[in-house]
Structure 1
């Protein structure tokens, strides 16, 4: 499959660059345009593009859980740590206020207002400029690598007939294949900005057994991948690096919407994409990395204990005679015990929404779907369990979950621009419940929609999208909630 796709892409490029000088239009007239025969420069030819760090079209890694003995444990640490948490302080630079919409300072050149970063003529350098930059981009690179492997892997283990049974065609498979090719470019970009110590491709342990579970897992994985990068981009010391990463993230956002469409969900049920701290991103991602090459660069980010939703809405369900649907799911209907695992799609045919042909109940692939019964709703009781810290996770089981938080008292819901707290009712050892909040971002826009990040916290400290990382010392466990 993969070599055929590569040949197809090369053929399309060749046709586009060596188009004939004339052809017949639909009206029968011959249309002629100036053209010269040309080709894409390759290898050592002048103007040839840089090579990729990994093949774009071939070579999935081995898969399965790690069974060896870790040689190193814990996150990367500096020689000293200055404090247990970073305390808030006033911002002395927040002084600009425009009273009339007119320019307040001289312009550095015509049609250019004063201010901005990187606008003084200094030549850009597209390399990381601090430990924060390096560790953030290294995390982003791990995300690109798992997507590169994952998209290929789903096409490798599921046949064309498997996709047809899920309502998807060969063209849909080709779309996923092309998204994998995009990831090779993203991985190359981030590697080049890190230098020779950039992390290398790892091996992975995936949870899905069906096409729909593969799609569901991609919906979740591309959400934490996109949100993880949005969370740190504006904090990077290197604005040049941030500029290029934004251009990659624009594609990641499209991928997230596409996987939702392939799963029969609304492609973009939110007005704003949320950003999350790097340690949240690493917690969710690292559970699916089985092993990495020897001496692969280690990361500094924290691994929080898992927070599991017992009654996670199952997007494969529809209303039947038992009144069971996505939002009334009461028991474990997740394929595993990791926070990003997909909903179980192997439910009885008469309870599945995949092949329902009635508007409002069909969840087969589509550009858009309306659900007459929503996936979840405000006020829904959400039942939770959470792990103790100290579990070996991540590449080579060499990272350990940890927390500095006290006893959990709240559930923090992070979606769009909002962080909303709800009270946690503890019902036993590492279990309890809360209720889905009814908050809005702006009027008519429910704050909780799509794939939402949830965290147990010991307090309800005030943080905003730009300083959300300050909540980390108060996080007891971390999870996902599929609200729509």
Structure 2
């Protein structure tokens, strides 16, 4: 296996009593500054950094950028695409509308579906449910904002097909859905032609990130599991979202993003177990075969962490949880099977999975600032395994953590957080790994 570390940055540390320099990481972690208090010397310079002069007291407003007022009333690409699946601004916002609508429906659905007793058994009291209700209302605002940007061409609210049957599975599913919703926007945000749109999206995705953290807390996972959130291409997000959209009204705007074949992780860690890695290797611990399907929660009392006693084993909702047995670990053998392309998915089964890649050779793990490859061992027709890689972003922060995208590729292409879409032509199948 090998690691592609995207970039490195050394921060600066300064205090009045010593010369600043790079952050110092010793054997026992961060070395604190020797002084913490007010500055007692005399400043050598004062005021903000100034240029030799200024041309005017303020900048004169300009007309709107033409890309900021672009409106695609037809709801379909109007110009040749620079490359397959790359009609950027309109299609990115349209994807965002699909995402906000499923979250709006999903958050409300569980609140209506489960009883007070079921919520109480899962450790979610009325105050917690009130927070979920508020987050559902947030999605009303997000869906309205994005729909208003597109006007009549905006996608409509659809009918959805959910995999969960318990409160725990609902919460687990929500933390997965908000992960690909958040990461999908981080992936395209900096590429938008319209900075005005990017500004508004930044203000909504900041809330989405908080939702993902809160759902992790409700699932008994650590709320913040990484140092850097990962951005994903739109086609990754649409691949994970589409299987849960059952039906859309006639005339709903269609998307121009790719649907990759599904990569099933057969021994994906089960967050409901005391030992999340003590899972079957046949995929039976997921509630279904779709990419973001949650882990099965109907375990025996001895297997389940929900009512387990003691720090490090209990996984009921909490501000923070530390698991004595980590959900996954470097060196773990991870088993896969994957679908052939050509499957009907998404609204009205009207999208078809596809790939332009050759035979799978690598497993690509996308997390934090890294895309890391490990070799794939093929064991049969569309089946194989790999070993979870070891590596670090900085210091002791592992490169495999959290709810993350995993894919099979035909090459170990070097990419960065800014050009992950370059990997799309080489993806055989796409999955979601619950690493921590």
TM-score, structure 2 normalization? 0.82
2:375–2:386: 8 Å Cα contact kept in structure 1? yes
Do structure 1's residue 199 and structure 2's residue 155 form an aligned pair?
A: yes
Per-residue deviation, 1:357: 2.5
Whole-angstrom distance in 2 between the partners of 1:362 and 1:416: 27
Contiguous gaps of at least 5 residues in structure 1: 1-100, 113-118, 319-324
Aligned to 1:328: 278
Taking structure 1 as reference, are residues 304 and 242 closer, same or farther at Cα in structure 2, changes over 3 Å only? same
Residue in structure 2 matching 1:121, options 58, 61, 64: 61
Aligned to 2:348: 396
Residue in structure 1 matching 2:193, options 226, 231, 237: 237
Per-residue deviation, 1:102: 7.8
Whole-angstrom distance in 2 between the partners of 1:366 and 1:137: 34
Per-residue deviation, 1:440: 1.2
Whole-angstrom distance in 2 between the partners of 1:165 and 1:254: 24
Correspondence list, 1:124-143, <5 A? 124=64, 127-128=69-70, 131-143=87-99
Correspondence list, 1:193-272, <5 A? 193-272=149-228
Q: RMSD in angstroms over aligned alpha carbons?
A: 1.8
Taking structure 1 as reference, are residues 128 and 205 closer, same or farther at Cα in structure 2, changes over 3 Å only? farther
1:312–1:329: 8 Å Cα contact kept in structure 2? yes
Per-residue deviation, 1:128: 4.7
1:128–1:194: 8 Å Cα contact kept in structure 2? no
2:344–2:351: 8 Å Cα contact kept in structure 1? yes
Do structure 1's residue 353 and structure 2's residue 305 form an aligned pair?
A: yes
Do structure 1's residue 168 and structure 2's residue 124 form an aligned pair?
A: yes
Q: Secondary structure at the match of 1:264?
A: coil
Do structure 1's residue 420 and structure 2's residue 372 form an aligned pair?
A: yes
Aligned residues: 371
1:308–1:385: 8 Å Cα contact kept in structure 2? yes
Whole-angstrom distance in 1 between the partners of 2:56 and 2:349: 55
Aligned to 1:474: 426
Q: Once the two structures are superposed, what CA deviation does each residue of 1:193-249 show, in whole Å capped at 9, x if it has no partner?
A: 112111010010000000000000011100000000000010000000000000000
Ranges of 4+ aligned residues in structure 1 off by more than 2 Å: 101-110, 119-131
Whole-angstrom distance in 2 between the partners of 1:175 and 1:326: 28
Do structure 1's residue 378 and structure 2's residue 318 form an aligned pair?
A: no
Per-residue deviation, 1:356: 1.4
Q: Secondary structure at the match of 1:480?
A: strand
1:313–1:376: 8 Å Cα contact kept in structure 2? yes
Q: Once the two structures are superposed, what CA deviation does each residue of 1:11-46 show, in whole Å capped at 9, x if it has no partner?
A: xxxxxxxxxxxxxxxxxxxxxxxxxxxxxxxxxxxx
